[in-house]
Amino acid sequence: MYRPKRSKPRVLAIVLAGGEGKRLMPLTQDRAKPAVPFGGIYRLIDFSLSNLVNSGYLKVVVLTQYKSHSLDRHISQTWRMSTLLDNYIAPVPAQQRVGKSWFSGSADAVFQSLNILDDERPDYVVITGADNIYRMDFSQMVEQHIESGRGLTIAGLRQPLDLCSSFGVIDTDPEDSTKVRQFLEKPDRVDGLPDSPNEFLASMGNYVFSADALVEALYADASNAESTHDMGGDIVPMFVSQGDCGVYDFTYNEIPGSSDRDRNYWRDVGTIDMFHEANQDLISISPIFNLYNTDWPLYTGYTGLPPAKFVYGHHERLGHALDSIISPGVIISGGEVIASVLSPHVRVNSWSSVRDSVLFDGVNVGRNATVVRAIVDKYVKIDEGAQIGIDHEHDKARGCWVSEGGIVVVPKGVHITRE
């Protein structure tokens, strides 16, 4: 691939956002997983895109596929870059450029989009997922990758040994801790790290490739009939077998404004229970993940909304919220909200109670209603006196979902009656 000489390496970022997110149903019943609302005003993809932009990478393509309309709309309305400086964040749907098939895996998604690399002609390619909660400066990882001279560098997250069966495990060379010796997919057991025997390095699903090496690997993978065309399952082992794969330890990633408490925070929100727990991480006095770090801001698209409002001051009908995130446009009118996250335009009416819950945009909680340990999708109407999260069998009978951990999920637009 010909590239003109330049003083600064050219980096293209690719965000893989085509996942179906089956384990997050019914939140993904009507939207792609990266478009799921999170933390009141954000979408899951905002965290990945904010990391890339804050890292200085302003040429980004987002590969979409599954129910992508709301995701495409969010990107196009929110993530507008300077065309004068030739910067962009562009959603790219599955285009069937190499055959009449959709993406068969994460590696195939990039392979079917290689025309983007032909157009952009990058020196290096950052590839990341779109649905984890974390802060990361990718420029530090890219710098290590360039210095290593390897074809691929993968990001590793330190995890307790007993979680090894839940991750792709990075086994490093004893003589070079930056070189990957083996990549093990969800093994039963692994050895601990030399400097931390009770931990191992798990793959974060973030990669930096030298562009030529990536293109060569993708063509080889596409011609392999036995491949599943997965980035972690096929492409990474290919580089490992060639001795051409390095690892970047996320522990050493420095983020301006981070605290000891939220340093190196990373959350997979792949299930309803994980999603609920990650929202809860945001609302303590010293949050496990701090949304208020202005040195590494999180960007999103809500503008022009009125402030939140708390009304009714009578001691028997007091509108209040404790240990909660209350977004713009919310009205708490004589109800109580405790340990919850409320998205824009939610209304909580008199004598109602919302506890340990996440309410998406436009939810209306009627008078004397109760919502406990629930995730309520957009535009749900909860009638006066109705209860959610008290009787799970009753919840299921009304069309709600209940997770293994007992979190009730009310699908988008449902009307919850008292009966």
Greatest CA separation for the chain: 73
- Specify the long-range contacts of residues 161-166, CB closer than 8 Å, at least 24 apart: 161/189, 161/190, 161/192, 161/198, 161/199, 161/200, 163/202, 164/188, 164/189, 164/190, 164/200, 164/202
319 within 8 A of 163, measured Cβ to Cβ: no
How many helices and strands, by DSSP H and E, does the chain display? 9, 32
User: In this structure, are strands 325-326 and 313-314 parallel, antiparallel, or unpaired?
Assistant: unpaired
Tell whether residue 175 is among the known ligand binding residues. no
Taking 60 as the threshold, does the pLDDT of residue 33 lie above it? Answer: yes
| CB-based burial, 84-121: b 16+ in 10 Å, e otherwise | eeeeebebbebeeeeeeeebebbbbbbbbbbebbeebe
pLDDT tens digits for 339-383?
999 999 999 999 999 999 999 999 999 999 999 999 999 999 999
Taking 70 as the threshold, does the pLDDT of residue 99 lie above it? Answer: no
Average pLDDT over residues 3-20: 80
Average pLDDT over residues 196-223: 93
Which residues touch 196 (CB under 8 Å, ≥6 apart)?
A: 158
Best CA proximity match to 412, nearest among 21, 23, 37? 37
| CB-based burial, 291-302: b 16+ in 10 Å, e otherwise | eebeebebebbe
Distance CA 73, CA 35 (A): 10
Average pLDDT over residues 36-53: 96
Distance CA 226, CA 243 (A): 22
Tell whether residue 185 is among the known ligand binding residues. yes
Termini Cα distance of the chain:
66
Distance CA 13, CA 87 (A): 12
Q: What does pTM read for this prediction?
A: 0.92
> What is the strand order of the sheet 320-322 is part of?
320-322, 336-338, 353-355, 370-372, 387-388
333 within 8 A of 314, measured Cβ to Cβ: no
pLDDT at 59: 94
311 forms beta bridges with 333
pLDDT at 353: 97
* Confidence label for 97 from pLDDT (cuts 50, 70 and 90): low
pLDDT at 153: 97
pLDDT tens digits for 103-147?
667 888 898 888 899 898 999 999 999 989 999 999 999 999 999
pLDDT at 216: 94
Distance CA 359, CA 377 (A): 6
What length is written for the chain?
419
Tell whether residue 59 is among the known ligand binding residues. no
Tell whether residue 8 is among the known ligand binding residues. no
* Confidence label for 189 from pLDDT (cuts 50, 70 and 90): confident
Average pLDDT over residues 183-196: 87
pLDDT tens digits for 268-323?
998 999 999 999 999 987 788 999 999 999 999 877 789 999 998 676 788 899 99
Taking 60 as the threshold, does the pLDDT of residue 5 lie above it? Answer: no
Mean pLDDT of the chain: 91
- Residue 127 phi, psi dihedral angles, 5° rounding: -120, 130
Residue 365 CB-half CA count within 13 A: 39
Query: 171 or 346: whose pLDDT is higher?
Result: 346
DSSP 196: B
